[in-house]
């Protein structure tokens, strides 16, 4: 299977399954949609990396890889549906006679964002939150792009009054702040506030947290 030599690994795979699906691990049994898999690749690459256990059902049952096409679909997802294309390493583990599980490892991207070309042609970046792939907030994507474009010769951002207003609003909020409310709070234009907030995010002066019930990203002070 893809020139992979399977090694005994039921104990290893079982230990991984016992951890459940989480920020750095996803179970995949039926693989038929490269674009859907690309969202997982994007989410892992934009976060801290992770792995797909191919041949494991959502409930943790070891079913084994159905055929080698599953591996090719994952490769296609990473190489043809992700921009830029992402490297993936594959390892095969024998769990029972005739039952093989593939571990596909996605490293953290050297440069973010890693985006997926969706069916409508749009590019969308994803981020891993617990066991879900979440569409990244536009400010997060903008901050990643600033980080990717940064060079050692860039002049440091001067924390002028405008920047201080943003920092004060985020720090002074009673709860994590909805980014759409920030321009209203500081009485500045949405475009200018978003541009500067993205720079502050890129510099690590503010950060994002995720609210699961509303599936929304909120601004918080950097730790």
Helical axes 190-202 vs 161-172, angle rounded to 10°: 80
Q: In this predicted structure, what is the pLDDT of residue 2?
A: 56
Q: Are 74 and 2 contacting, i.e. CB atoms less than 8 angstroms apart?
A: no
Q: What is the bridge-based pairing of β-strands 25-28 and 50-54?
A: parallel
Distance CA 129, CA 140 (A): 14
Contacts for 164-168 with beta carbons within 8 Å, 24 or more apart? 166/193, 166/196, 166/197, 166/200, 166/206, 167/200, 167/205, 167/206, 167/221
204 vs 165: CA distance, rounded Å: 16
pLDDT of residue 135: 95
Tokens of residue 159, six digits:
């924390």
What pLDDT is recorded for position 154? 65
Q: Residues 127, 136: contact at Cβ < 8 Å?
A: yes
Dihedral pair phi/psi, residue 205, rounded to 5°: -85, -25
Q: How far is CA 115 from CA 69, 136, 177, in A?
A: 23, 10, 26
Tell me if the pTM is above 0.95.
no
Q: Kindly give the confidence (pLDDT) of every residue in the chain, 223 residues in length, as a single tens digit, with 9 standing for 90 and above.
A: 557 888 999 999 999 999 999 999 999 997 889 999 999 999 999 999 999 999 999 999 999 998 878 889 999 999 999 999 999 999 999 999 989 999 999 999 999 999 999 999 999 999 999 999 999 999 999 999 999 887 766 666 678 899 999 999 999 999 999 999 999 999 999 999 999 999 999 999 999 999 887 778 999 999 8
For 61, the 3-state DSSP assignment is coil
């Amino acid at each position: 299977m893809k020139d992979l030599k399977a090694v005994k690994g039921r104990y290893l795979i079982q230990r991984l399954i016992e951890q459940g699906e989480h920020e750095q691990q996803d179970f995949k049994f039926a693989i038929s949609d490269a674009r859907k898999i690309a969202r997982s690749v994007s989410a892992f690459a934009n976060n801290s990396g992770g792995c797909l256990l191919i041949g494991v059902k959502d409930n943790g049952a070891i079913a084994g890889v159905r055929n080698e096409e599953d591996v090719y679909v994952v490769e296609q997802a990473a190489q043809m549906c992700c921009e830029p294309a992402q490297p993936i390493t594959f390892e095969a583990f024998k769990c029972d006679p005739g039952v093989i599980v593939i571990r596909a490892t996605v490293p953290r991207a050297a440069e973010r964002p890693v985006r997926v070309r969706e069916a409508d042609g749009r590019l969308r970046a994803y981020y891993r939150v617990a066991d879900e792939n979440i569409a990244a907030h536009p400010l997060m994507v903008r901050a990643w792009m600033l980080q990717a474009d940064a060079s050692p010769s860039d002049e440091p951002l001067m924390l002028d009054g405008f920047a201080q207003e943003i920092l004060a609003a985020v720090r002074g909020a009673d709860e994590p702040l909805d980014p759409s409310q920030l321009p209203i709070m500081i009485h500045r234009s949405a475009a200018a506030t978003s541009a500067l907030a993205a720079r502050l995010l890129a510099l690590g002066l503010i950060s994002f947290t995720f609210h699961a019930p509303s599936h929304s990203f909120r601004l918080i002070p950097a730790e």
